[in-house]
A and B are shown apart, each in its own frame.
Chain A
Amino acid sequence: MHVPDGFIDAPTSAATGVVAAAAVAVSLRGARRELDERTAPLAGLVAAFIFAVQMLNFPVAAGTSGHLLGGALAAILVGPFTGVLCVSVVLLMQGVLFADGGLTALGVNITDMAIVTTVVSYAVFRVLVKVLPGGRRSVTVASFVAALVSVPAAAVAFTLIYAVGGTTDVSLGKVATAMIGVHVLIGVGEAVITALTVGAVIAVRPDLVHGARGLRRRLQLRVDGALVDVPAPEGARTAPVAARTSRRALWITGLVTSLVLAGVVSFYASSNPDGLEKVAHDKGLDTKTEKHASADSPLADYGVKDVENARLSGGLAGVIGVGVTVVAGSAVFWVVRRRRTPDVSPTSTSAV
């Protein structure tokens, strides 16, 4: 999905460049909070990991193979800010060194592949982890769904950028159908690999998974044959426990709100892709529609049944609708949560 020079016109490239610069600036600040002064070496090594893992090809079928994009994986493993930074640095280096993606299209590429994938996947992940029952399995399920949504979301973002500043005269419907159709399939691969990778890391070093920090068990000692909680160091444990019930309520309210929004948005969104499908059908491009019709079934098999399934069966509109609204909904709650972070951070960064 690396966009070359000349594919998006100059004003749009400049605008996305500003968006990318702002997001990177925010992430630099946020990454310092996630990693403090270890930011440079750790984020650098994680960026090297993302770079390497993008070279890890996994066979799909009939001789074709895909590779990971890594936005969702980075966000879940090291946190959203560091994730944005790592993927942006990878894209920057790919653009400057390997000529992979144009220099003027750097803003487009970072916005699309670093910011949208990371933010969308992390928002979805966060909400699901809050709502699903605690445990490793729910982290795996949440990372599956997060990665699944993140790739089509990037395709949607690309289509939007194309709609604003595309230089070619291919109709928006065709671009949307091709991009989103293909990327739903890619998203399935991304989701499976991301979930398995996160699961593998959680099995060995759960403390390294940023997204699973809430799951850490308290240390227990066996005293006279009975398990006894180790006393909390000094008041650090009490604050989050007190805040916990209200936070959970907050997140459930958030999810309900965003689902209500999802109903509204996907109502509007659903008429649009149907139109696109019709265009595609008229133009004899229905092979692609066939593709994502079949792509629905593996999605339907997995995890989150109640809400996601109903939307997914509606087709791509649902994926987009839920993705967008979960982001919109959780953005509000993120702001609220951000205020609370100072009293939570001592516990979350204590074990390294």
Chain B
Amino acid sequence: MGADGGTSRASAFERGGAHRLYRHAHSPVHALPPHTKLAAAFGFVVVVVSTPREAMWAFGVYAVLLGVVAYHARVPAGFLLKRLLIEVPFVAFAVLMPFVAEGERVDVLGLSLSVNGLWGAWNVLAKGTLGVAASVLLASTTELRELLLGLQRLRLPPLLVQIASFMIRYGDVITDEMRRMRIARESRGFEARGVRHWGVLAKSAGALFIRSYERGERVHLAMVSRGYSGSMPVIDEVTASRAQWSYALALPSAALVVCLLGWTL
């Protein structure tokens, strides 16, 4: 059960690029069944989003909660912070907000800032960062295959899960194909410098599409010849015990208490 068994089973598919998000370790968080973790992360983010922005202390408590989870999952702080960088474009937007928002204004260091804008920036930054941190923790403690099984367990339509698993399995293959085409272009002296070169890039994209589609047809034929009839057999069914559920849901429950306090205080 959980990550320990999962890693030994992991096929070559999952060693690829997307997998680098996963951080192998043996921890109580890794060992939890994937669907409990998904539910916990989602519940946590929902609670965070519904917290009033004026309760600033609540967001501090949320961060501490995530820190506790990260500690139990043996995810180092540096790793977590580096992953948070994905948020940077939005931080730029949040920084702009106090300058363009409406409402009464306040002078800070000689700059006229909107009070509402400051609150808005804080709101987006705090909630966005906590959401990203929760997703990062989820992805770094759960293997891809497990994540997909967990989604299926949470009643995502099986067809959608299959599509997602094909996308992940072949994502690296297709990306590599694209990389080889780029190397082929560059070794012939091509360098994309401006709009005039869009045609070449678009032709590459077209060729990539044809290759992907034809590969999809071959994959389908290979599957059919091995007895595929529209649904994938699930050989590693995951179930969660009551104890595992309560362990996983400790995070959103604690967050919910904080949120309710935030509304009442």
Give every chain A residue within 8 A of B128 (Cβ-Cβ). 4-7, 102
B102-A204 in contact (CB<8A): no
| Min CB–CB distance A74 → chain B (angstroms) | 10
B126-164 CB contacts (< 8 Å) to partner A: 126-128, 130-132, 134-136, 138-139, 144, 147, 151, 157, 159-160, 162-164
Stretch at the interface among A48-56, A211-219, A304-312, A330-338: A48-56
Q: Could you tell me if A10 and B46 are in contact, using CB atoms closer than 8 angstroms?
A: yes
Complex Cα–Cα for A5 and B168 (A): 24
Q: Which residues of A contact B230 (CB under 8 A)?
A: 37
Contact residue among A39, A60, A201, A208 (Cβ-Cβ distance under 8 Å from B163): A39
Say yes or no: B170 contacts A44, CB within 8 Å. Answer: yes
Residues of B near A283 (CB, < 8 A) are 100
Contact of A5 with B127 at beta-carbon distance under 8 Å, contacts A95-B135, A167-B120 already known: yes
Taking a contact as CB atoms under 8 Å apart, the answer to whether B192 and A42 are in contact is no
Who on chain B is nearest to A192 by CB?
B198
Nearest-CB residue, chain B, relative to A82: B163
For the complex, what is the distance from the CA of A68 to the CA of B205, rounded to whole Å? 10
Secondary structure dominating the interface of B: helix
Q: Given the known A-B contacts A56-B201, A168-B124, are A352 and B164 also in contact in the complex, defined by CB atoms under 8 Å?
A: no
Q: In this assembly, does B210 line the interface, its C-beta being within 8 Å of a C-beta of chain A?
A: yes
A241 CB to nearest B CB, Å: 28
Judged by a CB distance under 8 angstroms, whether B253 is at the interface is: no
Determine whether A45 belongs to the interface, using a CB cutoff of 8 Å to chain B. yes
Residue A170 CB within 8 A of the other chain: yes
The smallest beta-carbon distance between A142 and chain B, in angstroms, is 16
**Which listed residue (B83, B87, B216) contacts A46, Cβ 8 A?**
B216
User: Given the complex of chains A and B, what is the CA–CA distance between A47 and B168 in angstroms?
Assistant: 9
Per-residue A-contact encoding for B12-50, CB less than 8 Å = 1, 0 else = 000000100100000000000000001001100110111
Q: In the bound complex, do residue A98 and residue B139 qualify as a contact, i.e. CB atoms below 8 Å apart?
A: yes
Expressed in whole angstroms, the minimum distance between the Cβ of A57 and any Cβ of chain B is 8
- Please measure, in the bound complex, the distance between the C-alpha atom of A285 and the C-alpha atom of B101, giving whole angstroms: 13
Write out the residue numbers on chain A whose beta carbons fall within 8 Å of the beta carbon of B139. 96-99
Contact A5 to B48, CB < 8 A, known contacts A53-B205, A197-B209, A201-B206:
yes
Q: Does A138 contact B (CB under 8 A)?
A: no
- Is A89 part of the binding interface, using a Cβ–Cβ cutoff of 8 Å? yes
In the docked arrangement, what's the CA distance between A88 and B97, Å?
Answer: 29
* B103 at the binding interface (Cβ < 8 Å): yes
Stretch from B1-9, B67-75, B173-181, B235-243 that touches the partner? B173-181
Task: Give the docked Cα–Cα distance between A104 and B46 (Å).
Answer: 6
In the bound complex, residues from chain B placing their C-beta under 8 Å from that of A40 are 159, 162-163, 166, 232
- Report Cα–Cα, A93/B201, bound state, in Å: 25
Check B160–A89 contact: CB distance below 8 A. yes
Q: Are B167 and A44 in contact (CB under 8 A)?
A: yes
Contacts of B201 in A (CB 8 A): 56, 58, 193
CB–CB B195/A60 < 8 A: yes
Q: How distant is A61 from chain B, measured CB to nearest CB, in Å?
A: 6
Assuming the contacts A24-B160, A104-B131, asked whether A196 and B199 have C-beta atoms less than 8 A apart, the reply is yes
- Say whether B164 contacts A200, CB under 8 Å: no
A92 to B206, CA, bound (A): 24
Is A222 positioned at the interface, with any CB of B under 8 Å from its CB?
A: no
Residues of A within 8 A of B170 (CB): 44-45, 48
Is B117 a contact partner of A170 (Cβ separation < 8 A)? yes
Q: Is the pair B207, A48 in contact by a Cβ cutoff of 8 Å?
A: no
Structural contact, B205 and A6, CB atoms closer than 8 A = no
Cβ–Cβ < 8 Å partners of A39 in chain B = 159, 163
Chain A residue nearest in CB terms to B216: A45
Q: CB-CB < 8 A to B124: which residues of A?
A: 4, 6-7, 167-168
Are the C-beta atoms of B42 and A4 separated by less than 8 Å?
Answer: no
Per a CB cutoff under 8 Å, which of A4, A25, A197 touches B205? Answer: A197
CB neighbours of A95 from chain B (8 A): 135
Give the docked Cα–Cα distance between A41 and B171 (Å): 12
Proximity bits, A58-72, B CB within 8 Å = 1, else 0: 111100000010000
Q: What 8 pairs between A and B have smallest CB-CB spacing?
A: A44-B166, A6-B127, A200-B206, A5-B131, A196-B202, A168-B120, A45-B216, A169-B116
* Sample of 18 A–B contacts (CB below 8 Å): A5-B49, A7-B124, A38-B217, A40-B162, A41-B166, A44-B165, A97-B21, A97-B144, A99-B131, A99-B132, A100-B86, A167-B124, A169-B103, A193-B198, A196-B203, A197-B202, A208-B210, A283-B100
Q: Spell out B's residues near A (CB within 8 Å).
A: 18, 21, 38, 41-42, 45-46, 48-50, 53, 83, 86-87, 90, 97, 100-103, 114, 116-117, 119-121, 123-124, 126-128, 130-132, 134-136, 138-139, 144, 147, 151, 157, 159-160, 162-171, 173-175, 177-178, 192-195, 197-199, 201-210, 212-213, 215-217, 219-220, 223, 229-230, 232
